[in-house]
Structure 1
């Protein structure tokens, strides 16, 4: 999970500069996760508002290492 240094409630509450640095760190971290876990691919998930399943009111990004046939299953409906 990646969080910005300054509090932001959601994507509409973060400055462009803070968003850019947060995403740059997420990009670096996915490279490390790839080296360590060797996944088939990652999900990079960031949700905003209750309709999008946001339940924690501090902007954050989930980095989820994925493998074919893992227990997470598809994140989008067919």
Structure 2
């Protein structure tokens, strides 16, 4: 069951601030407030959906297209050695916010990924990283 008071629903309604990276009619992307690596970004749909199992297929297809577009911007902005695209379903799998979302997690050779859901990041750093990704996205072709 979808909880309309989850933190991402509140971000979508503008009740909680976020460091936005990308937004269109169907998706929103912003910096993870507890990043596991530099450039850790989230992509969420604007539709109410708890996880992979209850999102409409067309909305899921649109969400993965938005995720790919943002990931290209993260790739260009941070030049990581690799990248994880992660999506969790339910607590046993590690989901902590019950609004479907994809993590874009840059990976850097020789740097450990930090733990999930741990310390809050410096807001100034998140703002700088978001600007870096927005600038990279501005140099890419529009999302398909």
**Smaller-chain TM-score range?**
0.7 to 0.9
Question: Aligned partners of 2:89 and 2:74: how far apart in 1?
Answer: 24
Unaligned runs of 5+ in 1: 74-78
Distance 1:38 1:13 in 2: 34
Question: What's the CA shift string for 1:7-56, capped at 9, x where partnerless?
Answer: 10011110000000000011011111111100111110100011101111
Match of 1:66 in 2: 107
Aligned length in residues: 73
Q: Give the secondary-structure state (helix, strand or coil) at the position aligned to 1:56.
A: coil
Runs of 4+ deviating beyond 3 Å: none
- Identify the structure with bigger relative contact order (alpha carbons < 8 Å, sequence gap 6+): 1
Match of 1:5 in 2: 46
Structure 2: how far apart are the matches of 1:37 and 1:67? 10
The CA RMSD measured in Å over matched residues stands at 1.1
- 1:31 equivalent in structure 2: 72
Give the match for residue 14 of structure 2: none
Distance 1:36 1:55 in 2: 27
TM-score w.r.t. the length of structure 1 is: 0.88
Structure 2 CA distance for aligned equivalents of residues 19 and 70 of structure 1: 32
In terms of fraction of residues, the more strand-rich structure is: 2
| Secondary structure of the corresponding residue to residue 42 of structure 1 | strand
